[in-house]
Amino acid sequence: MPVLSRTRPTVVIACGAMRELLQDRIPKDTPTFYLETTLHNTPKKLAAALQQEVDAVARPSNIIVGYGLCGNGVVGVKSRAHTLIIPRTHDCVAIFLGSHQRYVQRFFANPNTYYLTRGWLEAHDDPLHDYLYYVKDYDEETADYLVEMKYRHYRRLCMLGFSQKELDACRPMAMAVADFCRARWGIEYEETTGSTALLESLLKMPANPDSANPEIVVVPPGGEIRMEMFLGQREVAPRPLGRGE
């Protein structure tokens, strides 16, 4: 049986933060399921939720998985009767940047960068709203401690948009987060433009079953996602730090 087959239907299962990017790039009749945006904060819950969605697909399909390794949150997910197609990236940020190579280049240029996107901002998945949720659930002293432990190693906050119009629209939300982070940790703020190149390559894979792309992992039926699939020859297992570098 071929790993990829044009005769199989395509299904998309992705992080909710990718909704805006995906909805205009996939046929409207493609079954698409978005998982809760904040699941990447709890890798074990992400793996369970992703497996549940894979298991719910009744007909053997080519399933495009809109996640990176995400703190090992996709490791162990079984393909069952399906073929899983997933970006070979350590972090979802690389998907938004357009390639793992660009992600690595930015990592070495500016380590300890925390990224924001429109999807993450709209989901209130950022340091400021984490703090506000902690205050509501606990108290200010506990909230201070929790955000300190989670974010103190970051030195830069980067708003990642896909056009100047999007950056302009998101700037008020991003600056509120930036002001909070600057006051607490002296974090610098910057903006950069992302790329859909990797995402578009991912979406084209089911129609090009004989193509090979080093930035995409294909898990055959009966297989499972393993951490080693995401590592280059000289890479070691990534140490999960949360969303960012």
CA distances from 69 to 32, 125, 149, 239 (A): 20, 18, 22, 11
Q: What are the start-end ranges of the H helices in the chain?
A: 19-22, 43-56, 92-97, 100-109, 118-122, 127-137, 140-151, 164-185, 197-204
Write out pLDDT tens, residues 210-237: 778 899 999 999 999 999 999 864 454 4
Decide if pLDDT at 66 tops 50: yes
Pairing state of beta strands 188-193 and 156-161?
parallel
The answer to whether residues 79 and 53 touch, using CB atoms and an 8 Å cutoff, is no
Distance CA 15, CA 43 (A): 13
Write out pLDDT tens, residues 101-133: 999 899 899 989 999 999 999 999 999 999 999
Name the residue among 86, 115, 68 with its Cα closest to residue 218.
86
Write out pLDDT tens, residues 136-165: 999 999 999 999 999 999 999 999 999 999
The whole-number pLDDT of residue 239 equals: 47
pTM: 0.90
The whole-number pLDDT of residue 208 equals: 84
Mean pLDDT of 25-29: 93
- Phi then psi for residue 213, to 5 deg, are -130, 115
Burial 92-101 (b: 16+ CB within 10 A, else e): bbbbbbbbbe
Q: Give the start-to-end residue ranges of the domains of the chain.
A: 10-93+195-230, 100-193
